[in-house]
Structure 1
Amino acid sequence: MHTSPSSSSAGAQRTDGSPVRIGALVPLTRPGWVEAGQHLLAGLETAVREVNAGGGIVGRPLEMVVRDTAADPQRAVAAVDELAGLGVAALAGEYHSVVARAAATRADVLGLPFLCSSAVLDALTEQPTEWVARLAPPQSRGWRIYADFLLGAGRGRIAVAAQPSVYWASGARILRDHLAPRGGTVIELDSGALAPTAVCDELVHHRATALLLLTGHPEPAVSIVKAVRRDQRLAGIMIGAPAGQPEFAEWAALLGDDGSAIPFLRYLPERLSPLGARVETVLRERLGAAPSFVAFEGYDTVAVLAEVLRSHGTDRARIAASWPRVAVDGTRGQIRFSRTPGISVWQSAGTPVQVADRDPVEPDRFRILHAEPSAPGTGR
């Protein structure tokens, strides 16, 4: 782990009105999840505009330098190197967990503060680091909540259609470890090797009561959903997508009614704060659609960094040292960071978790099926 501040022009305090620059990592092209990247970027840019409208960073404009990661870890590492060389004070963003892990590891080596917006993989870095903090809840917390929801719905024989990935493998392991002591079972199906109709045959053979899509979007997830919905043998099975695929409009556009009643995880409170409601209106106008939780994550990321920069300046080491002292009102509640057992980065503990789905009667409306509020003492 990097333990000494890097030498950079970003470490000097300036009063000449020059911009304070932060770097943003966002998936904006395939094979990245482009719609998620667009929502993340909308949240980031909306907050930057509001910071500057309110006087910037002690009179200096906040400038965001955006780099497209395209869900490629090597591309993300190259972007981190480039942004560090450009003198950014900190990094923000990224949606894909495997990409964020590569970026976080490199940021730790360089001594560059990184506030990760959306990625949930528990092991965001191999070793504990002071340089990285995260807004999204860790995968272990969200997916255990999801597993409890499945058991509460009477779904104990869980099949997972999975692709090879650290993220998907971690999710399957969390589910298995949490369900087994409670009488549940997890059956793994290789969605890369099995055609959608073969997935259906396996579900029947194993008498699965739920199928979870731990696989790419839109394909093969969309084809699997269509096949299962059309197989009369599987009329009673629940389809789930804990990674959040049904949150986005593309899902509904591709699947129509077939995309409803598929529970997924989202990180929103049952009711937004006044700040959250105002930001939702702005984001809805910008996106032309309801903003996802990812857009709120983007906004909150900049809100935190702006407050840190105002209070502690642009020196990278001072920014990293400030994580445990952060107390910022975000769109979904107050944001604070602490050390969490088993998590290698500074973790926001206050993010609410929902299990939601699209209403079969009105697919553009979301139903909250289960909600876990913020952790105690976080302002919600």
Structure 2
Amino acid sequence: MRVTVLAAMIGALCGAGAASCEEAIKIGAVYPMSGPVAYDGQTLLQGARVAVGEINAAGGIKGRKIELVVEDGACIPAQSVAAAEKLVSSQKVVALIGAFCSSSTGAVMDVAKRHGVPMVAGISTAPNLTERGNDYFFRIPATSAMLAKAFAKPMLKLAGGSKFGFLVVNDDWGRSIIDSYSPALTAEGASVVAQQIYDTNDSDLFPYITNIKRSAPDAVVLAGNTQNAVALTEQIRQMGLGSKFFGEGSFAAKTYYKLVGQKGDGIYGLMSYVYSIDNARNKAFVAKYQADYNDLPTTYSASGYNEVSVVADALSRADIADPKAIRDAVAQTDMEGLAGRIRFTKAGQGYGFNVYLTLSKDAQPLVADQAVISAPN
């Protein structure tokens, strides 16, 4: 009798709040929790957790909570692959998100396809990722090529001259910036006078900056996550390089400003997100993020939030037991993100949202220009 009564009580409780009784839906995140971009990986995770909390507080997905299961990929391709295999094979996740660095994302997307599990990336802007024919991979943000197409003309105008240099990190993302911005800028009348590529673990960047300075560029395109962006800014200011600067990465993040202060003033950012975006969803996200972490979100925080939000939106429309149905639901995404609509092309490339050209002033990012990313031709 006691067992029967207890079972009835549990059944009544589950009926009143099924999300607390059914097994959680697991989403697997391959994020850099260690290594040179671990700080950025932590802000990425914080943004993802805000989305998880928001969704679960609203009742979860079809009465079930979602659970974020995180493995450290460290932005090392081999480690990221091992992390993804563990998440899919052992944790039985229904989708993957990550893996931050383009080289690691390129490796993990093969795991996703092999296992038939959809993967959504919120960063990783190397253009070739969506050119590989992997129909289980979806990338939300604009690629470097899309940002270059959007902002090459205003960049040339703001540079005050036609000579451009590049100082970028030695990975798929950094090299893709040279490959993307060079033709976009030269099509507008610019010339490329210098290219310098540094390793992500380099702390002494003076030799690269010296080589750039010798070429006397009117403007320099930079690429760096927080650790590298801070080092670049500090050492460029010490060298007295008088060029204009345009940076992809962390050059408009609150964490960056905390470390460089007004030394970052005058640097332009090429961004998919800034925390000052004026729409209801972003305002709610910023408020919740500040309440949870006592800080403003970075572009990486927004990326984590968008990754989870896209997966959750797809799960709400799909048979959760059918990986192919989840993949198809992701492909049909048409939802409001933090910077506008999020949709995907047949190749899995996100479009429909705004991107931003920011100017740092008084250690704050001011929006100098913006553009809507249309579906690529």
- Partner in structure 2 of residue 290 of structure 1: 296
| Match status 1:228 vs 2:236 | yes
Verify the 8 A CA contact 1:303 1:328 in the aligned structure 2: no
The alpha-carbon deviation at position 194 of structure 1 amounts to: 11
Q: Report 1:28-177 matches (<5 A).
A: 28-31=33-36, 33-85=37-89, 86-124=91-129, 127-153=132-158, 154-177=160-183
Distance 1:277 1:222 in 2: 27
Cα shift readout 1:15-43 (whole Å, capped 9, x = no counterpart): 97111111012112222x22322222112
State how far apart, in whole Å, the 2-side matches of 1:191 and 1:307 are.
Answer: 39
Separation in structure 2 between the aligned mates of residue 196 and residue 295 of structure 1, nearest angstrom:
27
Distance (Å, rounded) in 2 between the aligned partners of 1:216 and 1:301: 19
Q: 2:307 aligns with which of 301, 323, 326?
A: 301
Change (3 A) 1:185 1:129: same
Offset at residue 195 of structure 1 (A): 6.0
2:222 aligned with 1:218: no
Query: Could you say which residue in structure 2 is the equivalent of 1:7?
Result: none
In structure 2, list runs of 5 or more residues that go unmatched: 1-18
Unaligned segments of structure 1, at least 5 residues? 1-13, 340-344
Query: What's the secondary structure of 1:133's corresponding residue?
Result: strand
Contact 1:40 1:294 in 2 (8 A): yes
**TM superposition shift of 1:284:** 1.8
Task: Name the CA shift for 1:174/1:18 in 2 (closer, same or farther; >3 Å).
Answer: same
Q: Secondary structure at the match of 1:247?
A: coil
Instruction: Say which SS state the counterpart of residue 123 (structure 1) adopts.
Output: helix
| Paired residue secondary structure (2:296) | coil
Give the corresponding residue for 1:4.
none
- Structure number with the bigger relative contact order (C-alpha 8 A, sep ≥ 6) is 1
TM-score by length of 2: 0.84
The answer to whether the 8 Å contact 1:161/1:215 transfers is: no
Q: Kindly provide the amino acid, as one letter, of the partner of residue 75 in structure 1.
A: Q
Change (3 A) 1:348 1:163: closer
CA contact (8 A) 1:35 1:248 kept: no
Letter in 2 for 1:301: E
- Kept in 2: contact 1:246–1:357 (CA 8 A): no
Which SS does the other structure have where 1:67 is aligned?
A: strand
Alignment length, in residue pairs?
350
* Alpha-carbon spacing, 1:40–1:162, altered in 2? closer, same or farther (3 Å): closer
Answer 1 or 2: which has greater helix percent. 2
CA-CA distance at 1:210 after TM superposition: 1.4
Pairwise mapping of residues 234-245 of structure 1 onto structure 2 (< 5 A)?
234-235=241-242, 237-241=243-247, 243-245=248-250
Q: 2:357 aligns with which of 355, 358, 362?
A: 355
1:326 paired to 2:333: yes
Distance in 1 of aligned mates of 2:304 and 2:198:
31
Flag the structure with higher strand content. 2
Q: Which moved more, 1:50-59 or 1:75-84?
A: 50-59
1:204 CA displacement:
4.0
- Residues 130 and 138 in structure 2, CA contact (< 8 A), matched pair in contact too: no
Out of 182, 197, 215, which is 1:206 matched to?
215
- Flag the structure with larger Rg: 2
Rounded to whole Å, the distance in 1 between the matches of 2:98 and 2:167 is: 28
Matches of 1:26 and 1:256, distance apart in 2: 27
Task: From the superposition, tell whether residues 333 and 228 of structure 1 become closer, same or farther in structure 2 (CA, over 3 Å).
Answer: closer
- State the shift of 1:254 in Å: 3.3
> What is the TM-score when the length of structure 1 is the normalising length?
0.84
Distance 1:183 1:47, change over 3 A: same
Q: How far is the alpha carbon of 1:329 from its aligned partner? A: 2.4
Percent of aligned positions with the same letter in both sequences?
23
Map Cα deviations across residues 313-371 of structure 1 (whole Å, 9 max, x no partner). Answer: 221111112233222222322222223xxxxx412211211011321xx21x2111221
Distance 2:205 2:48 in 1: 37
